[in-house]
Structure 1
């Protein structure tokens, strides 16, 4: 099978198309999936540039999420049969298991039935960002109906699904964007109020929208500076969640005075620490998101696709920033 492999860390040139043996069933709980597409995420570019997140992780096949068709099943598998369509979030952080490939072998419990109403490309691009947004909003911030929620970078991969998940829960949403086109995109997803961070002051805009009270929940998808800027935009007793390392230079005096609950979100933890119960929970999240997708309350926006061999071009776009929605690789 063809796969995109890295044998050393570095720039775009370390991404190499290689021929690997197609994996074979070696455990009665395994399934072999013929991948149709793979999502491309910022973590892929970080693993390529900085190294695998698992020890002895080179050579590595990148790609944390994908979608495809079950080709073969182990003797104990009852959840799937050959021909079933699945989506999954497995591998891609070090070692030979990843979704930048034509096949992936995995425990059947790590895959879920693909939403019926979307194609393989959208399904492949969805799991990592859906799990991140759901865990951040529901598990970390305890999202409730009627709350006011700030989603940073609402036109991005995590941001565009976070807007929709918050709206599906009955929350009111404001978001930050970098252009009028992205504001239109965010409004179409359900954002009530958009802040162009290039031209508008974040705190002043949030306070205007909330009549001086601040937001109940904020999701930082950008990094330390945005995390710090968001603290004075929070309501007292609010929840501030970040999906990135907030950095060492933190002054949390104002956060403490506001009695903020600060949470860190990394959906890769179940893979990094081999936590089966957490993986079961993530499977339930994907099942619930599948229901939202199939009833029309959640959509995945893939702005551009690339053939598998052009993974470097997808990485280049992500590293330039400002991708709308998601990118995906296709195996055709």
Structure 2
């Protein structure tokens, strides 16, 4: 089968088309899936550049997000049959084969039925960003209806899904964006307050929006100075959740402590990295809930660009340029 192989960490050129044997079912509970599309995420570019979580397993196939059709099943599989269309988050971090390939194998517990209203490309764009946004807002900061949240980089892959999930929860959303076009789009998705971070002080704007109190929660998808300054935009006893590693000046951390704020980290890769079976099943339930919202017309995913599988390196270059909206997907048909 065709696959995109990474033989060593490096620049996008290390992603090369190659051939691998068709994977065999590793257990009676596994599926063989013919992949039609693979989502491309910023984590893919970081693993390509710096090395995977399992650096000795080379060559490796990147890509955590996939969508396709079940071709074969183990004799213990009960949830799916050949011909079913599915989507999932699996592999791509170095321990198991990822989705930049024509086929993959996956345990049935980690698979969800593809939303009927989505194309394969749209379905492949969704798993990582959906699980990330859902866990951040539902599980980490535990938002409730009527509360306020500030979502940084709201037009990005995770951000645009987070806006919709927060809106679905009955939460009032403030969103940082960089342009009028992104503002109009994010407003349609449910953002109430638009903050142009290139020309506005997001801290002061968030305080003005909340009558000086600060927002109940902040979802940081940017990191760096944006994360560190966010303490000042959150209320006393507020919550901040970030996707990034953090390193802030002592004075800023002191402000968070003085205001009794709680800081949370969201890394949806943890269950896969640590082999936490029940936690991965919980993520499958998120994919199933997301599919229901999509089929009901209450959640959308934006695919901004598609590439053929052989152009995975170009997809990585585009992500690393930054400022893209929505998601980028490899099509494998």
Is TM > 0.5 for Structure 1 vs Structure 2? yes
SS at structure 1 position matched to 2:264:
strand
Report the CA distance between 1:185 and its aligned residue: 1.1
Report the CA distance between 1:62 and its aligned residue: 0.4
- The answer for the alignment partner of 1:261 in structure 2 is 262
Report the CA distance between 1:95 and its aligned residue: 4.2
- The answer for the alignment partner of 2:134 in structure 1 is 134
Query: 1:203 & 1:227 partners in 2: Cα distance?
Result: 11
TM-score where L is the length of structure 2:
0.98
Query: 1:288 & 1:261 partners in 2: Cα distance?
Result: 27
Inter-CA distance 93–77: structure 2 relative to 1 (3 Å threshold): same
Report the CA distance between 1:57 and its aligned residue: 2.7
Report the CA distance between 1:59 and its aligned residue: 1.3
Query: 2:57 & 2:194 partners in 1: Cα distance?
Result: 41
- The answer for the alignment partner of 1:185 in structure 2 is 185
Q: In the alignment, does 2:103 pair up with 1:103?
A: yes
Query: 2:177 & 2:309 partners in 1: Cα distance?
Result: 30
SS at structure 2 position matched to 1:71:
strand
TM-score where L is the length of structure 1:
0.98
Q: In the alignment, does 2:18 pair up with 1:9?
A: no
- The answer for the alignment partner of 2:159 in structure 1 is 159
Alignment check: 8 A CA contact 2:228 2:248 kept:
no
List per-residue Cα deviations over 1:236-270 (Å, max 9, x = no partner). Answer: 11110001101264541110111111100000000
RMSD: 1.0
- The answer for the alignment partner of 2:232 in structure 1 is 232
Report 1:1-332 matches (<5 A).
1-247=1-247, 249-250=249-250, 251-332=252-333
Q: How many residues align?
A: 332
Gaps of 5+ in 1: none
Query: 1:267 & 1:253 partners in 2: Cα distance?
Result: 28
Gaps of 5+ in 2: none
SS at structure 2 position matched to 1:145:
coil
